[in-house]
Amino acid sequence: MSISSKCTSLLPAVLGAAILGLGVANASAAELGNVEAGKAFAQDTCASCHAIDKGADASPDSQAPTFEAVANTPGLNRRALIVFFRTPHKNMPNLIIQGAEADNVIAYILSLKTKN
Ligand code: HEC
């Protein structure tokens, strides 16, 4: 009896830690997703509007920030990008990025960061 009550009381603590873990996901951003796969995905899906390479001055769509500029946005982290990608893009109601594709493209964008 005492063992099982201990076990069930652990569950909220574990869930709590998992939720807190999301808040500090930025710290482990480098380990999630595949930068090369993210670059390939960005080339296919994003490059018609965004400059996706480091060092680009401007994007093909002048309204769209370069990915390097996105990466260097103060406060930008994995979590913010996950939230952004869950909502439709301006002019692109079908562009919702989730799962491994999101992890990969986020890893790629964050790899372009040149400022802290
Ligand atoms: C049809 C053109 C188009 C395509 C394709 C496109 N974007 Fe965008 N994107 C934009 C425009 C325009 C903006 C700026 C307006 C806005 O925030 O919606 C933007 C904004 C963004 C932002 C937010 C930048 C900020 O600082 O607010 C991110 C991140 C982003 N795009 C990522 C992507 C990724 C990743 C892809 C490919 C999976 C992609 N976009 C494909 C046009 C596009």
Write the pLDDT tens digit of every residue in 50-78. 999 999 999 999 999 999 999 999 999 99
Distance of CA 64 from the midpoint of ligand 1 (Å): 6
Residue from 43, 45, 46 whose mutation best tests the ligand 1 pocket (most atoms within 8 A of CB): 46
- The pLDDT of residue 86: 85
pLDDT tier for residue 16 given thresholds of 50, 70 and 90: very low
Count Cβ atoms below 10 Å from residue 34 Cβ, excluding itself.
Answer: 15
pLDDT, average across residues 98-110: 94
Hey, where are the domains in the chain? Answer: 29-111
Ligand 1 site residues (CB inside 6 A) read 42, 45-46, 48-50, 61, 63-65, 70, 73, 81, 84, 89-92, 95, 97, 105
In a mutational test of the pocket of ligand 1, which residue from 41, 43, 49, 96 has the highest number of ligand atoms less than 8 Å from its CB? 49
**29-111 is classed CATH 3.30.1330:** no
pTM of this structure: 0.77
Give pLDDT, residue 46: 95
Residue 29 binned pLDDT confidence (cut-offs 50, 70, 90):
very low
pLDDT confidence of residue 22 = 47
- The pLDDT of residue 98 is 87
Q: What pLDDT is recorded for position 20?
A: 45
Lowest-confidence range among 26-35, 36-45, 92-101? 26-35
Position 5 confidence tier, pLDDT thresholds 50, 70, 90: very low
